[in-house]
């Protein structure tokens, strides 16, 4: 099957979904039902978008398909969004304070994962579900990875962060080797999503602003932790995807990591210098340099890619970039995905656009283009449409891609 002659096959590498709160109950073991009922009766959802009349976009399969198709999108990688059972606010929180709460939160994540498998099965070939784990118990995490792979959750694993104060080993720790080994063995992508690694900062206006400034940086840390920790040397088939963290930072960070790698490895050969201890053993433990690891093992879920990032695509790696709509979030591009694609990609070669908006995502997550191309021939944005520069953003658009200054393309 070849791609549609005049349309793009758009696969969003960043969407979100989850069950309505009470709909998780059937996916829990019965021994947790009483505790779940007590928890649900007092739970106050902290997220306005999960209380609005549009919240069912998270779990209404038919509505999602209809809205995504209307927006020109034929398939999606599905990250979590709603609150799993027994969590205080979100599934990306630091570990539970007690063993009982830890066991309950694991049960809640398993309930979400099992709901997600059914949700993906409701649209065969059009959803790659991203399942959740906790890092407190590596053996349990490995067991869940194997279950998820068998259940067909092709979106892979959502890697929790280890923010300061979490009490967990850092991501470079060899404690997590069984997780990397299992993911590499089973072809399961490891995804790290923005917002999953920041420490709690409070609710003051300054704290919220600082969170916005720092949240992507805390998420970026997974890259250098796994690189310097040798995860890719030990497991060459491991795939890491960094999603909704922007993409313009990548060339500069790779330059920085290459610099420190070369500097520390070189220093380790000079035992009489003060810096030699910082590079001791690094060359043997991590293997290839950071830029090489990026080229061979890493990808970016470049949600609503901004125009100023597009000229960096060759330095990032054209085969690394996977566009995402962030549906159904307010900051996502729905219902103006076509306009968002125009503002970023108008005037680029067609094959480059095709790779970034769908081809790369199909390859990384195993989507069947033979199934999706005929749908795109019906609903996908046309080549001519995306090639037309966007002069004015939609007046009611809420995505940052349309924010003042975001549309300036720096060549």
pLDDT per position as a tens digit, 332-381:
999 999 999 999 999 999 999 999 999 999 999 999 999 999 999 999 99
Measured CA to CA, the distance from residue 5 to residue 9 in angstroms comes to 10
Would you say residue 411 has pLDDT above 80? Answer: no
Residue 146: per-residue pLDDT? 98
Residue-level pLDDT at 1 = 46
pLDDT of residue 90: 64
Share of the chain above pLDDT 70, in %: 96
Q: Are 197 and 217 in contact (CB under 8 A)?
A: no
Query: Is 213 contained in some domain?
Result: yes
The pLDDT score that the predictor gives to residue 408 is 45
- Total domains present in the chain: 1
Domain with 124 in it: 10-402
Q: Is residue 409 part of a domain?
A: no
Asked whether residue 189 is assigned to any structural domain, the reply reads yes
- pLDDT digit string, tens, across residues 202-221: 889 999 899 889 989 999 99
Query: For 75-92, how does the pLDDT look when each residue is reduced to its tens digit (9 = 90+)?
Result: 999 999 988 999 987 655
CATH label of the domain that carries residue 107: 3.20.20.140
Residue 82 or residue 226, greater confidence: 226
Q: Which pLDDT does position 86 carry in this prediction?
A: 93
State the average pLDDT over residues 154-164. Answer: 93
Cα separation of 401 and 76, whole Å? 19
Q: Is the pLDDT at 387 greater than 80, yes or no?
A: yes
**Tens digits of residue pLDDT in 51-67:** 888 999 999 999 999 99
In a domain? residue 408: no
Predicted pLDDT of residue 95: 63
pLDDT level of residue 272 (50, 70, 90 thresholds): confident
2 within domain boundaries: no
Q: Residue 405: which pLDDT band, with cuts at 50, 70 and 90?
A: low
Distance CA 119, CA 58 (A): 10
Does residue 3 sit within a domain?
Answer: no
Burial of 349 (0-12, 13-18, 19+ CB in 10 A): exposed
The answer to whether residue 4 is domain-embedded is no
Residue 1 lies in a domain: no
319: left (phi over 0), alpha (psi -120 to 50) or beta: alpha
pLDDT band at 409 (very low <50, low <70, confident <90, very high): very low
């Amino acid at each position: 099957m070849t791609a549609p002659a005049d349309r793009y096959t758009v696969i969003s590498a960043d969407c979100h979904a989850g069950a309505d709160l009470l709909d998780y109950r059937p996916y829990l073991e019965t021994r947790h039902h009483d505790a779940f009922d007590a928890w649900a009766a007092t739970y106050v959802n902290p997220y306005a978008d999960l209380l609005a009349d549009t919240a069912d976009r998270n779990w209404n399969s038919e509505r999602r398909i209809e809205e995504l198709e209307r927006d020109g999108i034929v398939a999606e990688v599905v990250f979590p969004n709603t609150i799993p059972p027994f969590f205080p606010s979100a599934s990306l929180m630091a570990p539970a304070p007690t063993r009982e709460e830890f066991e309950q939160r694991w049960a809640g994540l398993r309930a979400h994962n099992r709901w997600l498998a059914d949700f993906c099965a409701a649209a065969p070939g059009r959803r790659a579900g991203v399942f959740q784990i906790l890092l407190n118990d590596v053996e349990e995490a490995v067991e869940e990875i194997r279950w998820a792979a068998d259940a067909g959750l092709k979106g892979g694993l959502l890697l929790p962060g280890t923010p300061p104060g979490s009490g967990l080993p850092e991501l470079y720790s060899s404690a997590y080797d069984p997780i990397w080994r299992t993911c590499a063995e089973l072809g399961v992508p490891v995804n790290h999503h923005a917002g999953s690694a920041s420490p709690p900062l409070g609710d003051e206006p300054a704290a919220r602003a600082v969170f916005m400034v720092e949240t992507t940086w805390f998420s970026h840390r997974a890259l250098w932790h796994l690189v310097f920790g040798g995860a890719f040397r030990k497991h060459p088939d491991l795939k890491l995807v960094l999603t909704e963290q922007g993409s313009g930072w990548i060339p500069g960070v790779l330059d920085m990591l290459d610099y420190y790698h070369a500097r520390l490895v070189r220093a380790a050969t000079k035992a009489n210098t003060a810096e030699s201890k910082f590079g001791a053993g690094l060359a043997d433990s991590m293997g290839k340099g950071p830029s090489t690891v990026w080229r061979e093992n890493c990808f970016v879920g470049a949600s609503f890619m901004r125009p100023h990032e597009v000229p960096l695509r060759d330095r990032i790696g054209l085969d690394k970039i996977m566009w995402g709509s962030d549906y159904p979030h307010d900051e996502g591009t729905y219902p103006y995905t076509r306009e968002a694609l125009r503002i970023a990609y108008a005037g680029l070669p067609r094959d480059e656009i095709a790779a970034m908006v769908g081809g790369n995502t199909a390859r990384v997550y195993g989507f069947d283009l033979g199934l999706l191309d005929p749908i795109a021939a019906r609903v996908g944005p046309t080549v001519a449409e995306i090639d037309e520069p966007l002069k004015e953003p939609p007046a009611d658009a809420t995505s940052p891609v349309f924010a003042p200054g975001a549309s300036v393309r720096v060549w």
